[in-house]
Amino acid sequence: MKRLIGIASWFFPSLTGLCCLLILAMVVIILGDIALHGVQRLSWEFVTAEPRVGMTEGGIFPAIFGTVLLVILMTIAVVPLGVATAIYLHEYARQQSKIVHLVRLALQNLAGVPSIVFGLFGLGFFVAFLGSGIDAVVFGGRLTYAQPCVLWASLTLAVLTLPTVVVATEEALRAVPRNYREAAYAMGATRWQVVRRVVLPQSVGGMLTGAILAISRGAGEVAPIMFTGAAYYLPYLPKKLNDQFMELGYHIYVMTTQSPDVEATKPILYSTVLVLLLVTFALNFTAIIIRSRIRRKLRST
Amino acid sequence: MSTSVAVSVRPDPKIRVQRVNIWYGAFHALKDVTFDIPSRSITAMIGPSGCGKTSLLRCLNRMNDGIRGFRIEGEILLDGCSTLGGRDLTKLRKRVGLVFQRPNPFPLSVFENVAYGPRVHGEWSRSRLGEIVEPALCATALWDELKDRLEENALALSPEQQQRLCISRLLAVQPEVLLMDEPCSALDPVATARIEELMQELKQSYTIVIVTHNMQQASRASDYTGFMWLGELVELDATTTIFTRPAQKQTEGYVTGRFG
Ligand SMILES: Nc1ncnc2c1ncn2[C@@H]1O[C@H](COP(=O)(O)OP(=O)(O)OP(=O)(O)O)[C@@H](O)[C@H]1O
Ligand SMILES: [Mg+2]
C-alpha cells in the first residue's frame, strides 16, 4: 500500500507533465513546419499581388484584403448584438423567466452546431430569403443582394460567433460585484444608469475579450462562407457590401482541392497558410491593444 | 400574541413604521413591527444575528423590492406619506439613503464617487458638481485629507476613508434619512470612534438609523435603541432606558449579555 502511494506520487505528476509537453510539441511542430516551408515563397510581391497562372504564381493580396474586411464586418455585427443580448439576459430579464431560459438554450445549441450548417443557414436565410426580400422591395426585383456576398458571409460568421460573445460578456457582467450595483441603486439610480455608469465600465474588458475570441474563431472558418460570399477567384477587390470576395482560408481550400494543378500550388500553399496565421494574429493583436487602451483609460478616470 | 411595542408618540416622527410584516418566500422575516423614528436623532437597532435588522433597514428605502419572493404588508410613512405604494423608487431613495456594512466605493476617482449621485439625479455641470463634492467631503472630515487626491482611485483609500467616502457619496444627493447597516464592522476601534463622532455631527441635520452588533456602540452613539428578536421588535425606547431598566425580560437578557 505504501509503495503504491509512493509510485502514484511521482507517476501522476509525470503523466500530467508529459501531456503538457505533448501539447507543446504539437504546437511547435505544426507552427515550425508551416513557418519553415512558408517563408520560402514569402515576399513583398506575394502579399501585394494578385494570383496568376492558375494560382501557381503571383500573390494573395485579394484574399488578405477579403479576410480582414470579412472579420471587421463580422465584429461590427456580432459585438453590439452579443453585448446587448448579454446585458438583457443578465441585467434586465427575470432570471427564472421562460424567455431567458429559451434564449440560453438557443445559445447553447448554436454553439454546438457544425459550421457547415451555418453556411447552409446563411445561404437559405440571408442570401435566398433576406437578399431576395431586399431586392424585391428596394431594388424592384433587380438582382442586387440575392447573391452570395461579403455582407451575407460576415453576418453568417456573426451568427456563428454570437454565443462566444454572449458567454464572454455575461461572464464579465457576473464579475461586477453586487455591492457596486446595490450602492448605485441605494442612491436612486435607475437600472439603465446602473448598467451605463457602473456595470459597463467595469466589464468592458471582458466584453472585448469576447470580441477577441470571436475574431479568432471567425477568421479561421471556411465552411460558413463557402456558399455565402467567398469566391474561387476574383480579379478585383470587393468595393460594395454585395460584392463577392476572396478569403485566405477558402483560398487554401481551393488551392488544395480545386486548382488545375494541385502539385504546382504547394509551395505557395504553405506561404498562404503562414499569412493566414499572421493575419489572424494581427487581428487579435489589434483587438488586444484596443482593449488595454480602453482599460487604461477607464482606470485613469 | 404580539410582543411588539409601539413607542409612546414623540413629537415630529420622520418615519412611522406601522404593523409591517415581510416574507421571503414562505419565511416570515419581520412580524408586526411598529415604531416611530424621531427626526434629527440616532435610532439604533440591536439584536442577535438573523433577527431581521438588515431586512427592516432595507424596507425603509425599498432595497428589498428586487428580491424574488419578497412580500411586504403594513405601512411605512415618510413625513406622513406612504412609501410603499409608489413606483418611483428613485425619489424615495434620494430621500432615504443607505450605507452598507462593507465600504463599497465605486472603482472610480474620489471625485467621481461623490459626484455619482448628483449625476444620477441629473446634475452634469462640472463646476456645480464641484460645489456639491466639497461640502459633502467636508461633512465627513475627508476634505482636508483628500483635497489633493480627488483624482485618485477610491479603492486606494483606507477602509475607514472608504466608509467615510461612502457616507459623503450619500450626502451628496442631499438625503433626509441615513440608514447605516453595521457601518463600522469592517473598521478598527479608532476608525469606529471617528465614524461615531461623525454621526453625532450628522444628526444635527439628518435622521439616522443604525444597525449594530456592538452594544457599546448603541449605548454610546444613539438616542433611541430598539431590540429585535426573531423578526419582532421586542422593545424600543430611549437608549438609557433600554440599557438601564428595559421593560422586557428578553431585552434585559440581551443587553446584559445573558443570551444572543
Ligand atoms: N434575500 C433573502 N432571501 C431569503 N431570506 C432572507 C433574505 N435576506 C434575509 N433573509 C432571512 O431573513 C432573516 C433576517 O435576515 P437579516 O439579514 O435581516 O438579519 P440581520 O438581523 O441583519 O442579521 P445579521 O446581524 O447577521 O446581519 C434571516 O433569517 C435571513 O436568513
Ligand atoms: Mg444584517
For A26, A91, A116, A179, A257, the CA distances from A249, given in Å and listed in that order, are: 21, 38, 14, 47, 12
Name the domain count of chain A.
1
Q: Which of A62, A43, A42, A38 is nearest to A52 (CA)?
A: A62
Q: Which long-range contacts (CB under 8 A, 24 or more apart) does A142-148 make?
A: A144/A242, A145/A242, A147/A242, A147/A244, A148/A123, A148/A227, A148/A228, A148/A229, A148/A230, A148/A244
Residue B163 lies in a domain: yes
Assigned domain for A7 exists: no
Tens of pLDDT, residue by residue, chain B (260 residues): 344 444 444 567 999 999 999 999 999 999 999 999 999 999 999 999 999 999 999 999 999 988 889 999 999 999 999 999 888 889 999 999 999 988 999 988 999 999 999 999 888 888 999 999 999 998 888 898 998 999 998 999 999 899 999 999 999 999 999 999 999 888 888 888 888 998 999 999 999 999 998 888 999 999 999 999 999 999 999 999 999 999 999 999 998 887 64
CATH code for the domain in which residue B199 is found: 3.40.50.300
Helix (H, G, I), strand (E, B) or coil at B96: strand
Tell me the best of B27, B71, B228, B234 to mutate to test the pocket of ligand 1, counting ligand atoms within 8 Å of each CB and taking the most: B27
Do the chains contact at B63 and A202, CB–CB below 8 Å?
no
Residues 6+ apart with CB under 8 A from A277: A31, A34
Give the range of the structural domain holding residue B32, as residue numbers without chain letter.
15-255
* CB-based contact, B112 to chain A, within 8 Å: yes
Question: Which protein residue has the closest C-alpha to ligand 1 atom 6?
Answer: B24
Residue B229 domain flag: yes
The residue assigned the cell 489633493 is: B148
Residue B4 domain-assigned?
A: no
Does this model's pTM top 0.90?
no
The answer to whether position A23 is within a domain reads no
Indicate which CATH number applies to the domain containing A219. Answer: 1.10.3720.10
Residue of B31, B51, B98 with the most ligand 1 atoms within 8 Å of its CB, for mutation: B51
| Whole-angstrom distance, CA of residue B164 vs CA of residue B181 | 14
Angle at A262 between CA A258 and CA A267, to 5 degrees: 125
- Rounded to 10°, the helix B159-171/B189-202 angle is 20
Q: Is residue A9 part of a domain?
A: no
Q: Distance (Å, rounded) from C-alpha B91 to C-alpha B246?
A: 37
User: What is the number of structural domains in chain B?
Assistant: 1
At B26, give phi and psi (nearest 5°): -90, -10
Residue B5 belongs to a domain: no
Boundaries of domain holding A223: 39-300
- Nearest chain B CA: its distance from A175 CA (Å): 14
